Amino acid sequence: MTVALKGGPANTTYNIRLIQLVAGDADCPVVAGTLTTDADGNGNANVHEAVLPGASRVWVDLNNQANFAEFFDTPVVAF
């Protein structure tokens, strides 16, 4: 997946969590990598994770490593 954050806090590192939803709506969060923003609050990252057996939906969560209360989520995507 390609993750881009634009206009976020400057010089901040985020954990990239890939949340795959499997049968029964169980969450299977995986820390797939990190993204660090530049002085303008922009950052990009490419990460790769295998699709879990039974997974049918996915979403991405970015958690600020220094402040877990600060996060960004994508909408859920079905596949």
Q: What is the pLDDT of residues 8-56, one digit of tens each?
A: 999 999 999 999 888 776 666 778 899 999 999 999 999 988 888 888 8
- The count of other CB atoms within 10 Å of the CB of residue 46 is 11
Determine which helix (DSSP H) or strand (DSSP E) holds 44, and give its type and residue range: strand 43-46
Q: How many domains does the chain have?
A: 1
Confirm whether pTM is higher than 0.75.
yes
Three-state DSSP at 25 gives: helix
Q: 17: domain range?
A: 2-78
